[in-house]
Structure 1
Amino acid sequence: MPSPFRFLRLATILRLTALMLLLVFLLLPGWFEPLLKPLVQENAPAIYNRGSLFWLTVLHLRTVFVATLAATFVAVSLAILVTREAGAEFLPLSRSLVNIGQTFPPVAVLALAVPIYGFGENPTLIALFLYGLLPIFENALTGLTSLPPAVMEAARGTGMTERQRLLRIELPLALPVILTGIRLSVVISLSTATIGSTVAAKTLGEVIIAGLQSNNLAFVLQGGFIVAVLAVLIHDALQALERSLAGRAHV
């Protein structure tokens, strides 16, 4: 019977292979032209030629990072507020606020934001920010309200202030659960960010849209391939970090 370590090693090899393949494709896309040529019409380019795939990927990741960072700050702050005695009454209001992003689809948010902020990255950041609030808030809330009572009682018994308990006990113990919400938010944002190119944001959606407009299947596959591999690699990396933090929390 195959050992779990063999599966783990195989999974690691596959992830490293996917990462190397992605890097080679981004830096030397011309190497893959013979594979993609059969997917395009005669004389049509097989490799996206309206910009650098590498820099579009960097800009795509930057947009996701900025939106997720802002969503994490707001969502975790709200979760901390409503888990304090003085802020418990704001829980229903906080839930309503973080649900806004799920109530309005990203396309609708873009349509509302463009008249105010113009075309470009800003409407996309707003849409991703709103869409990413809910999973981070709910996981932060779960993490902060499911701490071991014995640990909290011991912290109070040592004379820790509420601020000290939050920074030294609550947040470190809740971090693996919070990170799960961040992971979900990042994966959602990676795919959702592609629609930002409809309002002139520099994302990998630019490649997909160009393919759809010119009936170029190779372009569509390139954009989709990069986004999919990024989502899998980032998901796995954050999941590994969650397991590591959870293991330390139980030591």
Structure 2
Amino acid sequence: MKSAAWIARIVALAVLLLLLFKPQVFQPILAPLAENGAPALYDRASLLDLTLAHLAIVAGASLVGAVIALLAGIFVTREAGAEFLPLARSVVNIGQTFPPVVVLALAVPVVGFGVKPTLVALILYGLLPIFESTITGLKEIPSATIDAARGMGMSATRQLLAVELPLALPVILAGLRLSVVINLGTATIGSTVAAKGLGDVIIAGLQTSNTAFILQGGVIVGLLAVLIYDAMGIAGRLASRHVVDGAVQ
């Protein structure tokens, strides 16, 4: 089973690299999907450049969103912040309640077109998984472990950094993985407000009824989501094992 999983990863990565660096390989497959003599391969911009721009937006939004959600999750699990949990939960739910397109429409008049409204939409949309996973991870820590840390004379800050967060890390990372994958797909709508990314390819296909363009953009986004989710899972397991072992020692 493990060998099959690694073969699937290698195949997915190989297809992604070919799409980015040698897209002409797929010309025979995509040509029947382009009607009325339309080009089968997207040539208005480099697919590699669009992919890197797409990933940069996702990385920036995920980083900011992770910091906000993590700090908020920690705050509401402390005694001083417990009463703010309903309010914080309502705020982070905004991103899931309002579609990203609506957030974009509201953000454009304030921050203008381009990357900024896209970042706003992605940050709001990605808060919930990390916020909830932070709360769940911290609340699932056995009370006996917390009591032992206090009995050792740890301050509240040291207890949080040396015991609670390391033990909650696997759950927090699971929420982060989900948030990043959500943002990878959602970032495609950024092209509607002039944010450079893989949405350019998909929207160009929709505007010209070119299924080949839509397939190129969709496949690249899908492969990125699968590979990044998988890679984050592997890295998360390794990091969690290392951090938890350090906390135990």
Q: Please, what TM-score do these two structures have when normalized by structure 1? A: 0.94
| Structure 2: 5+ residue stretches without partners | none
Structure 2 equivalent of residue 9 of structure 1: 3
The answer as to 2:88 corresponding to 1:94 is: yes
Pick from 201, 216, 224: which aligns with 2:218? 224
Q: How does 1:160-171 map to 2 (within 5 A)?
A: 160-171=154-165
1:196 Cα offset (Å)? 0.7
1:240 Cα offset (Å)? 2.1
Q: Deviations over 1:167-193 (max 9, x none)?
A: 111111111100111111111111111
1:39 Cα offset (Å)? 1.3
Structure 1 equivalent of residue 111 of structure 2: 117
SS at match of 1:49: coil
Q: How does 1:53-202 map to 2 (within 5 A)?
A: 53-202=47-196
SS at match of 1:44: coil
SS at match of 2:2: helix
Q: Residue type of the partner of 2:235? A: L
Q: How does 1:236-247 map to 2 (within 5 A)?
A: 236-247=230-241
Hey, what's the Cα distance between the residues in 1 that align with 2:2 and 2:143? 35
Hey, what's the Cα distance between the residues in 2 that align with 1:246 and 1:55? 33
Hey, what's the Cα distance between the residues in 1 that align with 2:15 and 2:218? 14
Pick from 11, 31, 34: which aligns with 1:37? 31
| Structure 1: 5+ residue stretches without partners | 1-6
Q: Deviations over 1:213-241 (max 9, x none)?
A: 11111100000000000111111112223
The sequence identity of aligned pairs, in percent, is 60
Q: Deviations over 1:92-123 (max 9, x none)?
A: 11111111111211010000011111110111
Hey, what's the Cα distance between the residues in 2 that align with 1:79 and 1:113? 25
Hey, what's the Cα distance between the residues in 1 that align with 2:168 and 2:96? 24
Larger deviation: 105-114 or 143-152?
A: 143-152
SS at match of 2:60: helix
* Residues 202 and 213 in structure 2, CA contact (< 8 A), matched pair in contact too: yes
Q: Residue type of the partner of 1:126? A: V
Q: Residue type of the partner of 1:72? A: A
Q: Residue type of the partner of 2:153? A: G
Q: Residue type of the partner of 2:196? A: K
Q: Please, what TM-score do these two structures have when normalized by structure 2? A: 0.94
Structure 1 equivalent of residue 15 of structure 2: 21
Q: Residue type of the partner of 2:126? A: G
Q: Residue type of the partner of 1:90? A: F
Hey, what's the Cα distance between the residues in 2 that align with 1:93 and 1:165? 26
Q: Residue type of the partner of 1:125? A: L
1:41 Cα offset (Å)? 2.1
* Residues 170 and 240 in structure 2, CA contact (< 8 A), matched pair in contact too: yes
The runs of 4+ residues in structure 1 deviating greater than 4 Å are 245-248
| CA RMSD between the two structures | 1.4
Hey, what's the Cα distance between the residues in 1 that align with 2:6 and 2:131? 31
1:40 Cα offset (Å)? 1.0
Hey, what's the Cα distance between the residues in 2 that align with 1:130 and 1:91? 17
SS at match of 2:113: coil
